[in-house]
Structure 1
């Protein structure tokens, strides 16, 4: 009997020893044998949960998901120190279901190491040739904006949900860079693709255990099969376009990203990173990221405009005084500080990526007395910056004026510390494009329409819902042509 008891005690001790929180890691909640802290953070309430954990354990703490540590880092100074000053060390991604199963280590967003460096450099260089991040692209964006305005006239004075139309319009901007052409709003295949993207961004969740552990895809209730089908269908769409480009390829006529990739593929060795799979995944990531963040931010903008009609009028008056009904350009941005301040406050308040995308140190690293092991899953909690009362006083209030100085100019420390797309080497590739799109789309909206709620007595909620991004709950608007 005593032998049995001793064996049980030893087994319990071993289980606790090898499934508990390793020594040297930041503090955290009590870690239970085998499961660690599984269930402590529900994906739908992840932001609230991390705010509570920060109050109890400080700016840096560890959550154990089974035997695997997840380290959360809060605060602008900590985030900037690790992602900017030590950016090279924290430029990797941890192993997740996306890069471990779906992408197989390829692509741009979820890849790491030499492949990521080579492909990111190539992607930026190639896209810049077609105007990516340059003001020369604004004519292309405005062409799409005006197509959207013409489409929206069909819905004048009628309540409708703008999500799919807006997604289609924003997607067409990135399509022109990737594919060399745009799609009509009634294109059946394209409408299907937009629907797939909507489902993808509402199905996934970065804080879900099955997202972190590829092995959990085998669980009966896992969303793996759904996400796998969505990825396969999106890849099917892009594969057709890639094959069409390959059939019509002309090395002397490079019109878009796919052409540029095929040219590089033809000029490099067989065992290079320029594979068909890398191209397919990169196009999918560009397309998804280039659609979701901008489209969702614009929907949040429309939602705040109907909740704050006084700001809608301020912005419209400013636009009318500066450019009237003339086509807006990026040269007008400095002349319209109210518009820029409004967009910045929407980005802050909407809090699109509250936990950011995960990072992993490429080598063991010590910070503030804590050991951060190589490959550890780390969240850099952007929510802690967006809602920091030291940076943004009264953070729960919608106050675009916080970004304006006494002279009415939009600049200063608050603008610098707003990092909606993270910071450092892994800053979102489409950051500069998104800024252009947000300004040009919103300015044209206000020139052309007054935006009203469907029912002023029952306003749509300002509470977001968590998917991969924080999305507004579906709502209807009424557009009144000016």
Structure 2
């Protein structure tokens, strides 16, 4: 009898320990025994679900995945306070399936501590030497843009899906920095790699339960083996390029990121160092993936908005004609084309590609607005709450590029300053300067060369299948 009672007490105590929300955490939905709030949010409905939870629990709330808390932070002021003013505390990453299992703590996106600081400093310094974030890089970008224009002209106004060809073109820009070369549009291995990247972005989610509990990867419902194979195939492609660089390495002739990394390896020798082969492969993969998918997808959204807002397409083409005509666009033209910049900003805001930023984690217990966020807690920052904030962007669900133009027609003001599609703080997206340059140069050239139309003007256009017709309207 007493043994049975003791077992029940222990069992109840155990269940209680795995149930509910620890004291001090922000409020949130009622937790269920053992599972907490597991299953509360469906991936396909995550954005709206977090909007609803915010209405009910406020700007900061907690979701329990089994016994682990996920804190979600909404609102520009809160995000800026934690990521900028408290950036030193919130510059760490939580342990996820990506950084713990797939990347083994290496790379740039998911790493933390001394390794992250060391590698981020090296990456920034190295890429800047090759023009990253500088206007001298625009020549390489424009060479790739014009290669894309030539490919589009070959299609002779026939409807087509632009996704893969645009991904290849955008990817070639980062390839020139990482590999010192570009790939042809018909290169079979490279085309396969682009397809793999598309699959990778469709199958991964930082807020998925398997990301928080890597042990769940053994359950077939999470498709971990598929993700693992994609990582393995992409890494094999990158390793092949690194091997080629190593065979022809000349320390007096450093042409790209891989060369620079190999040079750093020779300087460090066999000492305790973060400059390992695994670190090189993972860093290159992360740059390659991030430098391809986000910019390419933003450009596709821009083309879709041009189709659905022909009045803005006319305005932009008129302004471009008046300022630069058919001359090759340069970054020096950006200030002279505020309408183009405003359009791009509104595309980034309205497309809302990253509703939740990559998770952060405080490196120590942190008290904020009466709550306690424990050390290493998954902390998500809702960029969606900024993009759709009616106090910053009136009528947030309306596509209105003019919101970024002031009375004198310049692109400036609070709305521009508070737009944070690349997140903010110490771990702001490393590729922000390159992405901004690409978006302006690619889109401006598109508008110089083509009129973008729906295949069927009487129906809505989507990104799948034959999304639109790119009508050749001008040549040099």
The interval holding the TM-score normalised by the smaller chain is over 0.9
Describe how 1:64-143 pairs up with structure 2 within 5 A.
Answer: 64-143=64-143
Q: Structure 1: how far apart are the matches of 2:390 and 2:13?
A: 44
Partner residue in 1 for 2:352? 351
Aligned to 2:43: 43
Structure 1 segment 29-428 matched on structure 2, within 5 A: 29-270=29-270, 271-428=272-429
Q: Is the Cα–Cα contact under 8 Å of residues 160 and 465 in structure 2 kept in the other structure?
A: no
- May I ask how many residue pairs the two structures share in their alignment? 472
Q: Secondary structure at the match of 2:157?
A: coil
Task: Specify every segment of 5 or more residues in structure 1 that has no aligned partner in the other structure, as ranges.
Answer: 462-471
- Counterpart CA distance in 2 for 1:10 and 1:119 is 47
Q: Could you tell me how far apart the structure 2 residues matched to 1:473 and 1:108 are?
A: 32
In 2, distance between residues paired with 1:129 and 1:157?
40
Q: Deviations over 1:152-172 (max 9, x none)?
A: 001222110000000000000
Cα distance in 2 between the residues matched to 1:4 and 1:341: 70
Tell me, in whole angstroms, the C-alpha distance in 1 between the residues paired with 2:205 and 2:156. 36
For structure 2, which runs of at least 5 residues remain unmatched after alignment?
none
Deviations 1:231-279 (A, max 9, x none): 0000010000000000000000000000000000100142200000000
d(CA) in 2 for partners of 1:349 and 1:289? Answer: 20
Q: Please give the secondary structure, in 2, of the residue aligned with 1:19.
A: coil
| Shift in Å, 1:19 | 3.4
Deviation at 1:5, TM superposition (A): 5.7
Partner Cα separation in structure 2 for residue 253 and residue 458 of structure 1: 54
Q: Please state how far the C-alpha of 1:37 moved relative to its aligned partner.
A: 0.3
Matches of 1:166 and 1:139 in 2, distance apart? 18
CA deviations 1:418-444 (Å, max 9, x no partner) are: 000100000000000000000000000
Counterpart secondary structure, 1:221 = helix
Cα separation, 2, equivalents of 1:475 and 1:203: 23
Structure 2 Cα separation of the partners of residues 457 and 136 of structure 1: 43
Match of 1:467?
A: none
Kept after mapping to 1: 8 A contact 2:298/2:351: yes
Does the 8 Å CA contact 1:167/1:291 hold for their aligned counterparts? Answer: yes
CA contact (8 A) 2:18 2:66 kept: no
- CA drift of 1:8 comes to 2.8
Partners of 1:96 and 1:474 lie apart in 2 by: 34
1:46, 1:207 within 8 Å by CA — same for their partners in 2? no
Tell me the alpha carbon deviations over residues 170-225 of structure 1, each in whole angstroms, 9 at most, x when there is no partner: 00000000000111111111111111111111111222111221100011222110
More moved, 307-316 vs 261-270: 261-270
Query: Following TM superposition, by how much is the alpha carbon of 1:21 offset from its aligned partner in structure 2, in angstroms?
Result: 1.2
Distance in 2 (alpha carbons) for counterparts of 1:225 and 1:17 = 32
Conserved? CA contact 2:355–2:382, under 8 Å: yes
Q: What CA RMSD, in Å, does the superposition of the two structures yield over aligned residues?
A: 1.2
Residue 468 of structure 1 is matched in structure 2 by none
